[in-house]
Amino acid sequence: IVFVLVALCFVLYLKVQSDGEDINLPGLRPAAAAFKSVRKHARERYPKDTENEIQAPATHSPYEVSIQLDLDKQVPGLGDEGVSVKLKGAAKARGDKIYKKIALNEELSEQLSYNRTVGDHRNPLCTKETYDDPATLPSASVVIIFFNEPYSVLVRTVHSTLNTCHPKALKEIILVDDGSDNAELGGKLDHYVRTRLPGGKVTILRLKNRLGLIRARLAGARIATGDVLIFLDAHCEANVGWCEPLLQRIKDSRTSVLVPIIDVIDASDFQYSTNGYKSFQVGGFQWNGHFDWVNMPDREKQRQSRECNQPREICPAYSPTMAGGLFAMDRRYFWEVGSYDEQMDGWGGENLEMSFRIWQCGGTIETIPCSRVGHIFRDFHPYKFPNDRDTHGINTARMALVWMDEYINVFFLNRPDLKFHPDIGDVTHRIMLRKKLRCKSFDWYLKHIYPEKFVPNKHVRAWGKVKAMHSNLCLDDLLQNNEKPFNLGMYPCGKTMQKSQLFSLTNSQVLRNELSCATVQNSDSPPYRVVMVPCLDNDDYNEQWKYENNQLMHGNTGMCLDFDGLKSMDDAQVADCDPTSESQRWTFSKN
Ligand code: LR7
Ligand code: MN
């Protein structure tokens, strides 16, 4: 017995010492080898991070799930229900590294199931809605274009579509490869689609060269055979039941172009988040040609109540523009109304072009609240633009030349660099299209579809640079972001009109730029700073300034804009009004 015990102790001693090294005892070899192989495998997948191991010896999972799901009810996979997942240790380091490169945590994406759920974030009223039998709804061709998207993200988009769009309504999914050179997206994707997604629903169309997202979408649309085209970006995951409300609405109203509510999938932890189901924003635009989100105006809520017989909260909501990546449209109508401007290159601008065109040529753009799709928003584009050009700007200038009529001047005021840009090219064929379709004017669009949109030179008493009469100083917003209040600046006037110095004094006596309105900071002693705050939609409620004898007097404080004693050019200020003061005299000048 003593001999056996001593022998056992010796063996244990060897095992501890060896730490997985080969042990030359014949009887132990297989077990040790197996032990080693498991370790090696684990190390390959999640290389050990020593610091992490010391800190958290109890868990061997490289993950931390931020929300605890009810384990009695289901066994959740990582990130199921759209919860956030944080990698730890070496996996985190790898995730952070790739994130810096492509603005997306591909390391994490590879650990999440292609079939993960994202939860049902719809308004509860949606579950009470009934739609026609999916077999009698118009059928859908989902077109997903991609250029070097992470493989797992793209495949998850396809799975999500197959899992959430009723199979009887989903005719096909067309993947358009816009000339990707990422090897994984070649044979591996072909093989996956052939072996794992059989049934012929998923097709891959390979473009020989990169054509840019506009022409890639056109290529997909050309081979589509469903009644309805649904476009998705290649990094989306949808909520349950998102297809039927879109298809039903198009069945009922053929020229309605539809967007789902677009939710946010976080690019680093893949959390699916929403603004709740009670409210959502619609699409707007800025005069520099960029898309933005705006609150739904009361005017639209009233229209919904008048014209729609569903509960108002889930009624189609008219949207002045669309973001561009996720939308559904009757396939024949897509072609009738001019598809896209095929000469738009790369990325950008096509969404406002389509938005203005749809409205001006008799269609509508509507957000369908019972249809929700998540989209991964990236901090930057992980790809280069063709010839490093500003394709967004160039495409937008093409759009403006065709659709904006005299308002193109406002666009060029904001983008003087594009006025004579050599790459804009010819737009005659699009102007002919506009004539053929007998489309309405941009002025009509602004009046009827987007009356909330501020026009710097309409309904104003004065506009241009706010220039001191006895100095070369001008009000200047330094192109600051309007989302929170900021101090208005006072800088040397530019030789020509520049966006940062463009202000208007409206008919309701508001001193403002496109999005921000001038107020005066509360303070007991000087300096009394001029602060720009986000404007309210109804201009009558914004703070007023009186403009008399070249003085600009702030209504609430009774003080006047003054450049005397300026401490910093970043702090425009007001002072007690003095009719004899030279530093309180201002003109609005257009050059
Ligand atoms: O050269 C390219 N070829 C492509 O096929 C460049 C891009 N692409 C693909 C790309 O792989 C992706 O699937 O085109 C799709 C869109 O590109 P993103 O995801 O880089 O664009 P984005 O989401 O930043 O940009 C929004 O604006 C674009 C303007 O051209 C397009 O209309 C996008 O579809 C659009 N995305 C959305 O509307 C999603 C909601 C975002 C918002 C707001
Ligand atoms: Mn996108």
Range 72-97 average pLDDT: 88
Whether the CB-CB separation of 322 and 358 falls below 8 Å is answered with no
**3-state class of 52 per DSSP?**
helix
Domain span at 327: 78-136+241-453
CA atoms in the 13 A half-sphere facing the CB of 500: 17
CA 272 to centroid of ligand 2, rounded, Å: 15
Two tokens, residue 356: 């203005």
Residues 129 and 271 in one domain: yes
Mode of pairing for the β-strands spanning 170-177 and 140-146: parallel
Angstrom distance (rounded) from CA 386 to CA 215: 13
Other CB atoms within 10 A of residue 13 CB: 10
- Whether 272 is in a domain gets the answer yes
Q: Specify the range with the lowest mean pLDDT, choosing from 11-20, 36-45, 449-458, 540-549.
A: 36-45
Place of tokens 């308004």: 123
Q: Using 50, 70 and 90 to split pLDDT, how confident is the model at 392? A: very high
Q: What is the largest CA-CA distance in the chain?
A: 114
Residues 293 and 391 in one domain: yes
Angstrom distance (rounded) from CA 388 to CA 399: 20
Residues 287 and 332 in one domain: yes
| The ligand 1 atom nearest the CA atom of 324 | 32
Residues 440 and 376 in one domain: yes
What is the CATH classification number for the domain harbouring 550?
A: 2.80.10.50
- Whether 68 is in a domain gets the answer no
- Whether 176 is in a domain gets the answer no
Q: Please compute Rg for the chain using Cα positions.
A: 30
How distant is the alpha carbon of residue 137 from its chain centre?
A: 29
Percent of the chain with pLDDT over 90: 81
Two tokens, residue 383: 């790809």
3-state SS of 512-568 is ECCCEEEEECCCCCCCEEEEEEECCCCHHHCCCEEEECCEEEECCCCEEEECCCCCC
Which of 405, 427, 453 is the C-terminal boundary of a domain? 453
Residues 366 and 484 in one domain: no
Residues 18 and 118 in one domain: no
Q: Which residues line ligand 1 (CB under 6 A)?
A: 145-147, 149, 178, 210, 212-213, 216, 233-234, 262, 323-326, 346-348, 350-351, 375, 381, 383
Judge whether residue 557 has pLDDT over 50.
yes
| Per-residue model confidence as pLDDT tens digits over 263-320 | 999 999 999 999 999 999 999 999 999 999 999 999 999 999 999 999 999 999 999 9
Residues 501 and 427 in one domain: no
Pick the ligand that lies closest to the CA of residue 154: 1
Judge whether residue 255 has pLDDT over 70.
yes
CA 100 to each of CA 77, 89, 342, 386: distance values in angstroms, whole numbers, following the listed order:
26, 17, 33, 22
The structural domain count of the chain equals 3
Residues 247 and 386 in one domain: yes
Residues 435 and 293 in one domain: yes
CA 470 to centroid of ligand 2, rounded, Å: 50
- Whether 199 is in a domain gets the answer no
Dihedral angle computed from the Cα positions of residues 493, 497, 499 and 504, in that order, rounded to the nearest 10 degrees: 90
| Per-residue model confidence as pLDDT tens digits over 170-227 | 999 999 999 999 999 999 999 999 999 978 899 999 999 999 999 999 999 999 999 9
Angstrom distance (rounded) from CA 128 to CA 178: 40
Angstrom distance (rounded) from CA 82 to CA 266: 10
Which of 453, 475, 504 is the C-terminal boundary of a domain? 453
- Whether 503 is in a domain gets the answer yes
Residues 357 and 468 in one domain: no
Whether the CB-CB separation of 321 and 254 falls below 8 Å is answered with no
What is the CATH classification number for the domain harbouring 286?
A: 3.90.550.10
Q: In the predicted model, what is the mean pLDDT of the chain? A: 89
Place of tokens 């999440």: 112
Instruction: State the pLDDT at residue 495.
Output: 87
How distant is the alpha carbon of residue 496 from its chain centre?
A: 33
Is this prediction's ipTM beyond 0.90? yes
Two tokens, residue 187: 């044979």
- Whether 198 is in a domain gets the answer no
- Whether 182 is in a domain gets the answer no
| The ligand 1 atom nearest the CA atom of 214 | 30
Residues 429 and 464 in one domain: no
Residue of the nearest CA to atom 36 in ligand 1? 325
Q: Where are the alpha helices (DSSP H) in 337-439?
A: 350-360, 391-403, 408-414, 428-436
Best mutation site among 213, 263, 274, 395 for ligand 1, i.e. most ligand atoms within 8 A of its Cβ? 213
Angstrom distance (rounded) from CA 78 to CA 246: 30
Instruction: State the pLDDT at residue 60.
Output: 43
**3-state class of 114 per DSSP?**
coil
CA 419 to centroid of ligand 1, rounded, Å: 25
Percent of the chain with pLDDT over 70: 88
Which of 422, 453, 484 is the C-terminal boundary of a domain? 453
CA atoms in the 13 A half-sphere facing the CB of 494: 16
Instruction: State the pLDDT at residue 63.
Output: 55
Q: Using 50, 70 and 90 to split pLDDT, how confident is the model at 41? A: very low
- Whether 577 is in a domain gets the answer yes
Helix 187-196 with 151-164: angle, nearest 10 deg: 20
Other CB atoms within 10 A of residue 37 CB: 11
Instruction: State the pLDDT at residue 552.
Output: 98
Residues 253 and 392 in one domain: yes
